[in-house]
Structure 1
Amino acid sequence: MARQPKPLDDSESMLGWFGVELRNWRTERRLTQDALGLKVHVSGNYIGKIEKADRLCNPQLAAALDDTLNAGGALRRLWARVEKDLERRRLESDKACTVDELPTVGTVDRSEPAAPALYDRRLPPFERRSFLALGGVAVLAAASLTDRVPELASTPLPSSVRLQDVEEVRLASTSFAKADNLAGGGGLARETAISQLKWAAGLLRVNRPPELEGPLFTAVGRLATALGASAFDAYEHDEARGLLEFGTACAEASGDWHLRATSLNWLSRQATWCGAPDAGLTLAEHGLVRSDLLTHREQAMLHNARARALAKMERVQETLAAVGHSDDVFADARDDEDVVWMRYYDGAQHHGDTAHSLYDLALLAGRSPRRAAERFRIAIDGHAPRFVRSRAISGTKLASLTMATGDPQEAVAIAHRAMEDAGRVRSRRTADDVQELVDLAQVHGEKPEVAELIERITTTVLS
């Protein structure tokens, strides 16, 4: 029997009322917290905290919730009342709080590490009120801190593009790609890169010397493609498609066949992932139109994109042929021929990518799982520490393959290792793969070790 949601109290505050109304509208539309969060680009956990008045909303999110739930402006209007109530409470707090009422810093228990004493009587009354006594030490409330962040002006565009500007855009994409490979789509790195892309795209409207024309378009397109791949990982598919198409356009404007191959590869994979393998196949083959201008790794990457699309369509022999072509060209790869952003495509990445197509053939078309399992193992052993997400995906897929076609006890051991990585990344693709593992494990749920694995995944990795 499904657990009933905890009753909410709408009498405590306007914020509580908003939470109750949000849950009512969500329930009326028959959406889970996770499903609603996906539509408005926040986590289901965050939706739950708004409903329980444990987290604040904001006008933009309230508007998105109102539109998504087709609430006819009810949630917009209610949030405006919440903000008025919060402001009223703030003014009352200012009047009520005096210096004499404030607590002093007590004796700190030296058995625990000392926390910084942030208490300062020079702060205005409302900000002093925001200090919370915790273990004898005053701590500043988060809401008060965020209110104190100053408005920051955007960096103006230069009057003319310099080589230094192009190098800064290149550095931005390299830094973001490293952070994304390590932790997955989202977080501070992505917010920073979005601002950098807006500024970088503005450079395309600025005068520039002819010798910087191509390098500028390549640098901007590379940053857009890295952000597009990250948005795909976060399941923000419309945004991902727009960024990747922009990256492709920049590549074609600069005549950069290497960037074009990368952006079309991601567009192909996204289309296949979203249930359009025929479009994915077309995009991959579009990337291979002038394969003579591509490096061996780039060709292997695009043949893998073809293989993934063909496998989803259960075109077995063509999938195997595409994997074979990928293996053949990758065998001739040289370390000195690739652009910097292709350095990720090493032997581990190649084996993991080809294994995905063979995995689909095993589960969708009943083919032997042996080749897929072998390649996943090579990928897991070979992934460098900075590619946590790739190792998590390969490990999870191997566990799922073993759970579906082999020994469940062996699958459990593989899965526990993979969950160490999966729990460290923000990745909707990884989460989906983990959920697939849970679904496959349910068949063997009567086994204690499998039941323990399912419990671990649902209470930690997927919570």
Structure 2
Amino acid sequence: MPQPPKELDPARSSRALLGTELRHWRMNVRGMSARELGESVHVSGDLILAIETAKRSCDEELVHALDAVLGTQGTLSRILKLVCADADRQRADADNRSPSPSARLHEGDGERILTGHASLAPNGTDPVDRRSFLAVSGIAALSTSGLSTLVTRSEPVPPPAVIRPGDIEQIHTAATVISKWDNHYGGDGMVREAASAQLQWAGALLQADCREDLRADLFAAVARLGMVVGAAAFDAYAHNDGQRAFRFAAVCAEEADAWHLRAKIYSWLARQQIWLGNPDRGLTFAELGLARADRLTATEQAMLHTARARAFAKMGEVQQTLSAVGAADDAFGHARAHEDPPWMAYYDAAQHHGDTGHALYDLALLGHDPARAQERLRTAVAGHGDEYVRSRAISGTKLASLLMTTGDPAEAATIGHAALDDAGHLHSRRAADDVRELGLMAGRHPGEPVVAELQQRVNATVKA
């Protein structure tokens, strides 16, 4: 009589989380035995079981094959990044030292100019060896290991003993600058490193003396910065760091009674969970954000209804997706830019059409009418300016992928080339994954020369 599967504990480690997700996709989603899955990826069923129980590790090539066979949309590959990051941190702890910036340049990630696996420490409890801003700049990228020590800060800069209004204004300025960098360059590399250091500094300010009349403003400013840092980490697939930053930001927003910030932070938490393959959890965050919707602007309500639509679409709930898109459209029809806080300036007509278009894209791949998704994605691509080049690249890539599947492959190739013009300058894991998806869609048209040319460019832009 076969033994029941061993109970798994995903909270035990990132490696255990990978095994738990693998078993979920194998058994609950695809209904495959370990032997069947092993044969599909050319390994033994025993190895599959060993990976699921965290007894054996899984390399990058195998995890990509598992994602492809199980149709996880990259879920296992994203978790493997956390496994690798944890392993790097453990090795660093064992050596009682942190890797130098120049050493991190050579870790196995061909998509990023600079890498860094140090965790955020927004509450100041984790030991983090942060380099100065210059240590993650082009100087470090070009230097030898000896020269890198010249730009390593030897003494930490202590936070002020008393909070002044200017300190709060500096936090807001940092959040604004990092958000602009994130939108323009992507959240990986230097952007993420600079963002992490800024949040560590801002978190330390919460321990300083602060006048009661400034306290809410201080917590709101730190919440906004935490939200921006979480967004950069999300884009870099540093999901553990991203979730910690978002949750830290949510606590600060609650402390400040900042309902507008709270809504935006929950929107980010929803989007991250949907991206990670947890749409039900993402839906919960979106609906938490909509609590006391009467306190939110119409734009914020539209943003959260869009998150609901994307969650429903990932779950294959057609009518609920369409209903959520309709609610988002109704709310956005009442949007007034002057009522919105500064961090909502990004959510214009292009962003609204792009986000709802992504939800309708998922329905189109399930066999539903693609026309509405195409129309919205076209509007998004046309409306995004250079300050939101990542959003334009992602919407353009989605549109090209949709046309490869449901429309004219030649037109898809033209749009795909334009999207690659944008994506090629980014340090964005999300954009890179969408480009890979476009390459897979292009593979369905092997006889089309223009499509083959696009596929070659995709392979040159990101790892196949």
Please give the TM-score of this superposition, normalised by the length of structure 1.
Answer: 0.71
Aligned partner of 1:392 in structure 2 is 393
Closer/same/farther in 2, CA of residues 205 and 395 from structure 1, 3 Å limit: same
Residue from 139, 148, 160 that aligns with 2:162: 160
Aligned partner of 1:440 in structure 2 is 441
Question: How many residues were matched structurally?
Answer: 354
Aligned partner of 2:305 in structure 1 is 303
The correspondence of residues 58-207 of structure 1 with structure 2, limited to 5 A, is 64=90, 142-207=144-209
Q: Which is further off, 188-197 or 252-261?
A: 188-197
2-side partners of 1:40 and 1:461: how far apart?
18
Aligned partner of 1:352 in structure 2 is 354
Q: 1:318, CA displacement in angstroms?
A: 1.0
Aligned partner of 2:450 in structure 1 is 449
The correspondence of residues 360-379 of structure 1 with structure 2, limited to 5 A, is 360-364=362-366, 366-379=367-380
Closer/same/farther in 2, CA of residues 461 and 259 from structure 1, 3 Å limit: same
1-side partners of 2:185 and 2:331: how far apart?
30
Closer/same/farther in 2, CA of residues 285 and 343 from structure 1, 3 Å limit: same
2-side partners of 1:173 and 1:427: how far apart?
19
1-side partners of 2:423 and 2:438: how far apart?
12
2-side partners of 1:29 and 1:320: how far apart?
39
* Residue type at the aligned position of 2:210: R
On the 8 A contact 1:419/1:461 being kept in 2, the answer is no
Aligned partner of 1:404 in structure 2 is 405
Deviations 1:263-300 (A, max 9, x none): 00010111111111111111101111111100111000
Q: 1:150, CA displacement in angstroms?
A: 4.9
> Residue 209 of structure 2 aligns to a residue in which SS?
coil
Aligned partner of 1:312 in structure 2 is 314
Q: 1:31, CA displacement in angstroms?
A: 3.6
* Residue type at the aligned position of 1:419: L
Aligned partner of 1:23 in structure 2 is none
2-side partners of 1:327 and 1:363: how far apart?
22
2-side partners of 1:256 and 1:152: how far apart?
37
Aligned partner of 1:323 in structure 2 is 325
Structure with bigger gyration radius: 1
Q: Which is further off, 340-349 or 438-447?
A: 438-447
On the 8 A contact 1:392/1:421 being kept in 2, the answer is yes
Q: Which is further off, 259-268 or 270-279?
A: 270-279
2-side partners of 1:322 and 1:163: how far apart?
41
Closer/same/farther in 2, CA of residues 156 and 314 from structure 1, 3 Å limit: same
Closer/same/farther in 2, CA of residues 222 and 141 from structure 1, 3 Å limit: closer
Q: Structure 1: which 5+ runs fail to align?
A: 1-26, 48-59, 68-72, 84-139
Aligned partner of 1:415 in structure 2 is 416
1-side partners of 2:143 and 2:337: how far apart?
52
> Residue 275 of structure 1 aligns to a residue in which SS?
coil
On the 8 A contact 1:268/1:280 being kept in 2, the answer is yes
Aligned partner of 2:254 in structure 1 is 252
On the 8 A contact 1:291/1:299 being kept in 2, the answer is yes
Aligned partner of 1:275 in structure 2 is 277
Deviations 1:379-436 (A, max 9, x none): 1111011101000000000000000001111111110111000101111111111111
Closer/same/farther in 2, CA of residues 154 and 333 from structure 1, 3 Å limit: same
2-side partners of 1:271 and 1:38: how far apart?
12
> Residue 148 of structure 1 aligns to a residue in which SS?
helix
Closer/same/farther in 2, CA of residues 386 and 462 from structure 1, 3 Å limit: farther
* Residue type at the aligned position of 1:329: A
Tell whether 2:214 aligns with 1:212: yes
Q: 1:190, CA displacement in angstroms?
A: 2.2
Name segments (4+ residues, structure 1) moved above 3 Å.
27-42, 60-67
Q: Structure 2: which 5+ runs fail to align?
A: 1-55, 65-75, 104-141
* Residue type at the aligned position of 2:320: E
2-side partners of 1:37 and 1:148: how far apart?
36
* Residue type at the aligned position of 1:170: H
Deviations 1:106-156 (A, max 9, x none): xxxxxxxxxxxxxxxxxxxxxxxxxxxxxxxxxx96333213335342221
Please give the TM-score of this superposition, normalised by the length of structure 2.
Answer: 0.71
Identity %: 49
Q: 1:189, CA displacement in angstroms?
A: 2.7
Aligned partner of 1:333 in structure 2 is 335
On the 8 A contact 2:191/2:232 being kept in 1, the answer is no
Aligned partner of 2:228 in structure 1 is 226
Q: 1:181, CA displacement in angstroms?
A: 0.3
Q: Which has the higher contact order (CA 8 A, sep 6+)?
A: 2
2-side partners of 1:457 and 1:434: how far apart?
7
Aligned partner of 1:426 in structure 2 is 427
On the 8 A contact 1:40/1:65 being kept in 2, the answer is no
